[in-house]
Amino acid sequence: MILALLIVLSAFFSSSETSMMSLNRYRLKHLTKEGHKAAKRASKLLERPDRLLGTILVGNNIVNILAASIATVIATQIWGEAGIAIATIGLTIVILIFGEITPKTLAALRPELIAFPVSIILKFLQIILYPVVWICGAISNMLLKLIGVNTSDPNGDQLSTEELRTVVREAGLGMTRSRQNMLLGILDLEKMNVNDIMVPRNEAVGIDLEDDLSVINNQLRTCHHTRLPVFTNDINNVTGIVHMRSIARLLSRGELTKEALIHACKEPYFVPESTPLHTQLFNFQKQKRRIAIVVDEYGDVIGLVTLEDILEEIVGEFTTDMMLPSQDIHPQEDGTVVIEGSSAIRAINRQLKWKLPADGPKTLNGLITEQLESIPETSVCLTIGRYRMEILQTKDNMVKSVRIWDRALDRHPEDEPEAVAEGDKHDD
């Protein structure tokens, strides 16, 4: 009966160790803040893992050694000297199955089910075994310091950004895919700069004061944007940013003049192209702005960025966006896709679920010219990763349109396994 009780105690200590160490620390902190008594008790024990493990291991070793002694006495009384070997083999099997593997497996699968109740007993045992645990712990810490381990360092509960990203991806318990994508979008903000999401200057919509007033009026009446840059002849000569609400009354009455338009402008807000998105988000909040003009290191305007552009990186495309990337991406019946060269690579990857390299050039034209190291001619083909590309049109020293298909999906019969083919021309 004593031997059976010792085996049960061995299972208790083994399951206690595994369950306490397997507790989700972040869920434990949440339950502690919610006032969960067992969680508070377990959290208190885990504040000093050396004492907790010392208590468990001291108790477990006492139980196992005592069980081995009793088993040896019983076996020698029954089988004589052969009983020593029989007791060793038999008790090892029993301890492994009933005292180690089974309880530890259960504790690893259901840590809270085991850890919360046993924390009461462990707290009591810490008091009883404190002198032994303290002596053993002091010797252990001294040995660790001899090999260069600082036992006073934090226990590593802090998560890096990449680790937190993994936690979000692996999260369950009712977290929807859309919520996961939003959280991942927030974490990705620090990896991207304003240059990654800005509207290039050649695609920016603005009011040129050199145009006739009738042209300006017609542009304002048909514009889908609420804020527009106002400039003279060139966007580098920005006068300001005008809000449609500021000129709506004048526009409806037909009383708008260039002087009134200039007077309604707000001072332009300039930002460097290298500003991280999470920083720019706070800057928009601090400056109480919704749109900024992006400049390069020489002070030249290279594009526009808005608060909505940053928010779209978190929540996805807004349904009210009138400039959807699908206007530049045209799926074909044969499975290929015709894409405008000015299309942003990130927009292509987002819409088509592709993985074109986005670390370098920001547009498809830039990616192709970087790969070929020259401005390509029409009908040049190349392969980037698993994507086969055929240049359909070049104009004004840039690629205007490209036919692309994913070779991994076997959509095109001419697919070949080469890595990159430069200057591969063929007749239509």
Instruction: Determine the distance from the C-alpha atom of residue 279 to the mean position of all C-alpha atoms in its chain, rounded to a whole number.
Output: 17
For helices 2-22 and 49-79, give the axis angle rounded to 10 degrees.
150
What are the distances in angstroms from CA 13 to CA 124, 325, 351? 14, 60, 54
Structure tokens at 331: 């799926």
Contact between 372 and 399 (Cβ < 8 Å): no
Q: What integer pLDDT is reported at residue 158 of this predicted model?
A: 66
* Local confidence pLDDT in tens for the 428 residues of the chain: 999 999 999 999 999 999 998 888 878 888 888 888 989 999 888 888 888 888 898 889 999 999 999 999 988 888 888 888 888 899 899 989 998 899 999 999 999 999 999 999 998 988 888 888 888 888 888 888 888 877 666 555 566 777 777 777 776 555 777 777 778 778 878 788 898 888 888 888 899 999 998 899 888 888 888 899 999 988 889 999 999 988 988 888 888 888 999 999 999 999 999 999 989 999 999 999 999 999 998 889 999 999 988 888 888 766 544 444 456 888 888 889 999 888 888 888 878 888 888 777 888 888 998 888 888 877 788 898 889 999 998 888 888 889 998 887 654 444 444 434 444 444 43
Contact between 103 and 118 (Cβ < 8 Å): no
Structure tokens at 425: 């021309």
Residue with tokens 């067992």: 38
Q: What integer pLDDT is reported at residue 425 of this predicted model?
A: 41
- Compute the distance between CA of residue 192 and CA of residue 219 in angstroms, rounded to an integer: 33
Q: What integer pLDDT is reported at residue 357 of this predicted model?
A: 86
- Confirm whether pTM is higher than 0.75: no
Nearest Cα residue to 371 out of 181, 379, 292, 380: 380
Dihedral angle over CA of 49, 51, 55, 60, nearest 10 = 50
Q: What integer pLDDT is reported at residue 317 of this predicted model?
A: 67
Q: What integer pLDDT is reported at residue 157 of this predicted model?
A: 58
Nearest Cα residue to 6 out of 52, 65, 93: 65
Give the neighbor-by-neighbor strand order of the sheet with 380-384: 329-331, 337-340, 398-406, 387-395, 380-384, 424-425
Contact between 235 and 208 (Cβ < 8 Å): no
Other Cβ atoms closer than 10 A to 267: 9
